[in-house]
Chain A
Amino acid sequence: MTRAEKLERLQEIFRDVLDQPALRLSEEFSTSDCPEWDSVATVQIVLATEADFGIRVPMDTVAHLRRVGELLDLLP
C-alpha cells in the first residue's frame, strides 16, 4: 500500500471520528487545525486505526500524537 493510499484510509477514519464528512487530510494536519481533535478524539482515531491496520500504536506515540504524519509513519 502506498503512503497516499494509507493517508486516504486515515482520512475516512478522521472524517468519521471528527464528524467532518468533507475533511481533506494531509500529513501536516494537526490538532491545532481542528478544535474537535481533542484527547478523546485522539484515542478514538488510534483505536480505529489499530483495528483497520491490525497494529498496536505504542503508548508514547499516543501520548504525544498531534499530527497525521506521526500516525502515518507507523502504518505497515
Chain B
Amino acid sequence: MPPCAAISAIHHGVPARRLTEVELEARFGAKQVQSIAKLSGIRERRIVEPGMTAADLAFVTADRLLKAREIPRESIDLLVVTTQTGDYQIPGTSYVLHERLGLARNCATYDLNQGCAAYPYALALAQGWFATGVATRALVLNTDALSGIIHPQDRTLVTLHGDGAVATLLDAATGEEGLRGFHFGTDSSGWRYLCMPASGARQPRDEHTRREIADETGCVRTAEHFQMNGQAIFHFAIHQVPEVITAALAKFKITVADLDLVILHQANRFMIEQIYKKLGVPVEKQFLYLENIGNLSGAATPAVLSEAVRQGRVKPGAMILLASFGVGLSWGVALVRVGSGGLAPVDAATDVTLTDLEKKS
C-alpha cells in the first residue's frame, strides 16, 4: 500500500480588523443588512488592513504553527499554496512564501488556482506526492483576501465574505489515520457565475472596465471586481452538494452513521442547514464557523476544521468528511481519519495584525 498523508497539525489566522454590522448598516441600510444576516448567519467579518495581503495571512499563520510545534523548516519537502488573491500574477505566491518561511531548496512548491473548493484539491495533490514517495512532509496553505477584489458597494458579497488563512501540516501516516478518500467534479457551464471579468488576458483593464455599474437592486461593481450570481450559485449548491456527498459516501462505502463530523464550505448558514437536512446529518455531527468571520473562500473549509480542533470537537480516531464547492463551478470531498493520538490544537494566536508582519520567522 502506498504511503498515505495524515494531518498532524492545523491552525488558522484571520485579520484583527473587524467589519461589523454597524458599519455595514451605515453603508447599505439596516433593513438590508439584517435581512441578509438572518439568512447568512454572518454577523461580523475580518478583513485585511491596507498593506496586508493573503500571503501575509498565510505567512503569519504558518509561521505560528511551525514555531509552536518546533518543526524544522528543512524537514518540509512540499509546499502547496491555494489562493485567488496572490501577491503577483507572476510568480505564484508559493515562491514568495517559500522564501519568507525560510523553507529549504529541496522543498517543492506548488500553486493551485482554486476558490472555495481549494482544500480537498490541495490535500489530494499532496497525497499524490506522498503516494509516489516524492514528499514526506508537506505544508498546505489555503489563503484568500477577497475584500480587496470586492467592490465596497456590492452588498451581496461584502456582507458574506471575510479574509483568512489556514496552515495544515501533513506527515506520513503510521496507522489507520490519514487522507482516506477523495471525490471531485466540475460543472463548467456555471463558471461565469463566479467570475472577475477583467482580471487577465481575455479582458484587459482600461477605462471601460473601471466604470461602476449599479444593478437593479443597487449593488455596485466594475468589471475589475469579483462578481457572483448569487441565485445561480445558491441553487447549484443546494442541489449539487448533497448529490456529490451521497456519491462520495457510496464510493467510500460508508454512510453518515460512520462519520463523526461533516464539515461543509461556509457559504451561508441557510445553505449549510439545507444541505445537512437533505443528507440527514444529525446536529452532533454538524459544525459551523462563520458567524464572526464570514466566508473565507478557499480557507473556509479548513478554518472550520481548525476551529473544531480548537473547540475539542475532533476526537481521537474521528472520521471526518470535508465538502467544498465554488468557483468553477467545482466541488471536492475529502475523507479524513484522525489518528488515535488525536489532533491537538496549536497553541498560538489566531488574530493577525500589521505588527505581526514585522516579526521575523
Using a CB–CB cutoff of 8 Å, the interface residues on chain A facing chain B are: 31-32, 38-40, 42-43, 46-47, 56-57, 59-60, 62-63, 65
With beta carbons under 8 angstroms apart, the residue of A32, A56, A63 that contacts B231 is A63
For B238, the chain A residues whose CB sits under 8 A away are: 43, 47
Q: Are B231 and A62 in contact (CB under 8 A)?
A: yes
B67 adjacent to chain A (CB < 8 Å): no
Q: Are B216 and A59 in contact (CB under 8 A)?
A: no
For B187, the chain A residues whose CB sits under 8 A away are: 59
10 contacts between A and B (CB under 8 A): A38-B217, A39-B230, A39-B231, A40-B39, A40-B234, A46-B231, A47-B235, A59-B189, A62-B232, A63-B232
**A56-B239, A59-B189, A59-B236 given; A31·B216 CB < 8 A:** yes
Q: In the docked arrangement, what's the CA distance between A39 and B39, Å? A: 12
Interface residues of B in 228-273 (CB under 8 A from A): 229-232, 234-236, 238-239
For B216, the chain A residues whose CB sits under 8 A away are: 31-32
State the Cβ distance, A25 to closest chain B Cβ, in Å. 19
Task: Compute the total of residue contacts between A and B using a CB distance below 8 Å.
Answer: 40
Secondary structure class of chain B's binding surface, majority of residues: helix
The 5 A-B pairs of least Cβ separation, nearest first, read A63-B232, A39-B231, A39-B230, A42-B231, A62-B235
State the Cβ distance, A15 to closest chain B Cβ, in Å. 19
Q: Are B156 and A39 in contact (CB under 8 A)?
A: yes
Secondary structure class of chain A's binding surface, majority of residues: helix
For B230, the chain A residues whose CB sits under 8 A away are: 39-40
For B193, the chain A residues whose CB sits under 8 A away are: 59, 63
State the Cβ distance, A19 to closest chain B Cβ, in Å. 12
Q: Which residue of A lies closest to B32 (CB)?
A: A38
Q: Which residue of B lies closest to A58 (CB)?
A: B189
Interface residues of B in 295-326 (CB under 8 A from A): none
B3 adjacent to chain A (CB < 8 Å): no
State the Cβ distance, B303 to closest chain A Cβ, in Å. 24
Max count, chain B CB within 10 A of own CB: residue among A32, A43, A60: A43
Interface residues of B in 177-226 (CB under 8 A from A): 187, 189-190, 193, 216-217
Q: Are A59 and B39 in contact (CB under 8 A)?
A: no
